[in-house]
Amino acid sequence: MLRVLFDTNIYGLLIREKDADELERKIKAEKEFVVYDYRPIRQEIREIPKITKLSKKARIQILKLYDSITGKHFLSNSINITNLARKYYDCYRNFGGIYGWDTSIRIDFMIVACASTCKLDIVYSADNKTLLSKQALKAYKHINIKENQKLPTFFTYEELLVKFRNLNPSI
């Protein structure tokens, strides 16, 4: 079984797809692919501004999709995850990373730290500027070797679409 975390941006991209309902159904139906709920991701979705009716509607749709896909698979935050994320950040800055801790990179590093600490297999993201940046990937690898942690495999949003659009319907 593959144990997976989706970066926050994956959910927003999924609801924009013409076949969003079919993708959701296939992801949920795939028994060898479990997507986990991790509170910092859900919180980031909840913080989508409710400025317009459209943004409020999108926020609600994304939360429904998130809850549907993650189901009852929940990962708790911990001080160990936060500490590992902070180590990633310090290393990232040493490797030339430019984003500050109080930007969205904090959640990105928390996602990877959670996946590493909980020994998840995969993290999907569409964020090439932070979570999947060259400096960040180098920092994850460097710190996880030092900390004797398993590094999850990183896949892009496009790879997620290919996987589930090419999957034969199981129902």
Domain ranges of the chain: 2-162
What confidence score (pLDDT) does residue 51 get?
A: 76
98-140 residue pLDDT tens: 999 998 899 999 999 999 999 999 999 999 999 999 999 999 9
pLDDT at 170: 46
132-170 tens-digit pLDDT: 999 999 999 999 999 999 999 999 999 999 999 986 554
Q: Taking a C-beta distance cutoff of 8 angstroms, is the pair 75, 38 a contact?
A: yes
pLDDT score for 168? 58
Report which secondary-structure segment, H or E, holds 8.
helix 8-14
Distance in Å from the first CA to the final CA of the chain:
19
| Residue 171 in this model has a pLDDT that exceeds 60 | no
Q: 26-71 pLDDT, tens per residue?
A: 999 999 999 999 999 999 999 888 777 767 888 999 999 999 999 9
CB 42 within 8 A of CB 11: no
Architecture of the domain defined by 2-162: 3-Layer(aba) Sandwich (3.40)
